[in-house]
Amino acid sequence: MKITGVRYTETIYGSRDGPAVWNNELPWCDSINYGGDVSAFQVFEILTDEGVSGLSSIHVGPLPARLIDVITGENPMNIERLWNKMFWATQGRLMNTVGAIDIALWDIVGKVTKQPVYRLLGGFRDKVPVYGSGGGLNLTKEQLVREQLWFVEQGHKAVKMKVGLADTDEDIERVKAVREVLDPKIDLMLDVNNGWTVNVAISMAKKLVRYEIAWLEEPVWKMDIEGYSRLAQATEIPIATGEGWHGLEYWRRMLEKECCDVIQADPTVCGGPTAWKKIATLAETYGVLMAPHHKPEHSVNAQLTASVPNGLIAEEFYPGYPIPMFKFYKGRPFQKDGWIEISQEPGFGVKLDHDRMEWYKENHPTGPPKRISRSRRPNQSGLKINAPL
């Protein structure tokens, strides 16, 4: 079997299509990112000379020609060989693209062996818990409360909201409002998105501990290993991080310094299932759990979580976030009572629903975005002074 090429879907643009509680008047945002008004959907398949193809449910746009050249003519079953070739062809600088291709390759391996990917990677369990992820800072406090309750009404036993406003007192009020309406048995996670300095994070953790927070996610800049270590020693709230980074050396340093309790390595950032499994094995030796960040179609992350003994929980946005791209797949598992049953179909178990994609394109004629997503660095110093730094 040899790889013969790549096939792309047509790009589909769509505006946000979520529950009624979603605030469409303001752009989606967290502490350092501002969302655009339109999202794009385009995925690809790796083709082979034997008619078996692998779907990558990652929205990366056209692949660099040098990576296509590297994999063309190779046997897709040689996962480690191909991963190594792609890594050195890009000098480790395009791990999101390497990860997208790696996902498609594992889909092929699963189809050839007639096994779901989670079983090929270890097959620790057949279902995983999943939490409802939302809580954008564009929501009013009332909308935030309704959204978090909406997740619970759908069956989730754990939910996540954003914090990281310039006014930290307002953050506390929003957390308090959500915690008060949730059943005590519902876990509440908080996501800061790198938005605090270490001083702010330590101070906020002391104020938040009373609300029984399941984890505090990305409280400080991802590269601040010493800062993470300081924070982890200063709070009893579990620390989760890692969605935006890659490399075993980085994680070895984070683990040696006891920086976190949960690693959220994203397969689309860290280099695909091949790299993710290595991070999970390293984390297991330190007693650290894995909860992959949700960027791809979540059947990928659910399967990774199910494959290892230290897989904790998967992440799920509501089906319309940021556009109903999840409806473009056949076979995608949905949560029931807070759990996802892992597909037993070969590969990742999903196929493109081309009819649904065509219907959406015709009925939602949205063009390219007018408001572009962008990021900024946090500006909170943790110092109580009257002038901004």
Rounded-to-integer distance, Cα 136 and Cα 144, Å: 8
Question: Is 387 part of any domain?
Answer: no
Question: How many domains, in total, are found in the chain?
Answer: 2
Answer with the one of 114, 130, 164 that is the final residue of a domain: 114
Give the other-Cβ count within 10 Å of 260's Cβ: 28
Rounded-to-integer distance, Cα 301 and Cα 304, Å: 5
Q: Quick check: 147 and 22 in contact, CB under 8 A?
A: yes
Does 53 have pLDDT greater than 70? yes
Average pLDDT over residues 263-279: 95
Question: Is 364 part of any domain?
Answer: no
Q: Quick check: 72 and 3 in contact, CB under 8 A?
A: yes
pLDDT bracket for residue 332 (50, 70, 90)? confident
Listing DSSP states for 61-85 in one string gives -SPPHHHHHHHTTS-TT-HHHHHHH
Does 75 have pLDDT greater than 90? yes
pLDDT at res. 93: 85
Rounded-to-integer distance, Cα 188 and Cα 70, Å: 44
Rounded-to-integer distance, Cα 356 and Cα 228, Å: 44
pLDDT at res. 125: 97
pLDDT bracket for residue 370 (50, 70, 90)? low
Residue 288 phi/psi, 5-degree rounding, is: -105, 140
| Tally of helices (H runs) and strands (E runs) in the chain | 13, 18
Give the other-Cβ count within 10 Å of 362's Cβ: 8
Tokens in use for 154?
């759908």
Alpha helices in the chain (DSSP H): 65-71, 79-90, 95-113, 117-120, 141-153, 168-181, 198-208, 225-234, 248-256, 267-270, 272-284, 299-307, 354-363
pLDDT bracket for residue 85 (50, 70, 90)? very high
Average pLDDT over residues 160-179: 96
Rounded-to-integer distance, Cα 98 and Cα 87, Å: 7
Are residues 20 and 49 both part of a single domain? Answer: yes
Q: CA–CA distance from 254 to each of 263, 266, 367 (Å)?
A: 10, 16, 42
Are residues 245 and 280 both part of a single domain? Answer: yes
pLDDT at res. 296: 55
pTM of the complete model beyond 0.85: yes
Are residues 77 and 155 both part of a single domain? Answer: no
User: How many residues belong to the chain?
Assistant: 389
pLDDT at res. 312: 97
Are residues 110 and 128 both part of a single domain? Answer: no
Answer with the one of 50, 82, 114 that is the final residue of a domain: 114
Rounded-to-integer distance, Cα 32 and Cα 378, Å: 6
Any idea what DSSP says for residue 343? P
The angle formed by the CA atoms of residues 323, 276 and 221, to the nearest 5 degrees, is: 70
**Amino acid of residue 52:** V
Does 334 have pLDDT greater than 90? no
Domain that holds residue 61: 3-114
Are residues 106 and 43 both part of a single domain? Answer: yes
Question: Is 27 part of any domain?
Answer: yes
Question: Is 275 part of any domain?
Answer: yes
Rg (CA), the chain: 21
CATH number of residue 225's parent domain = 3.20.20.120
Are residues 144 and 73 both part of a single domain? Answer: no
pLDDT bracket for residue 246 (50, 70, 90)? confident
Does 196 have pLDDT greater than 60? yes
Q: Quick check: 45 and 7 in contact, CB under 8 A?
A: yes
Tokens in use for 260?
């976190």
Answer with the one of 82, 114, 146 that is the final residue of a domain: 114
Are residues 192 and 98 both part of a single domain? Answer: no
Q: Which of 194-198, 246-250, 385-389 is most confident?
A: 194-198
Question: Is 366 part of any domain?
Answer: no
What pLDDT, in 10s, does the model give residues 122-164? 999 999 999 999 888 888 999 999 999 999 999 999 999 999 9
- Whole-number mean pLDDT of the chain? 87
Are residues 83 and 130 both part of a single domain? Answer: no
CATH number of residue 74's parent domain = 3.30.390.10
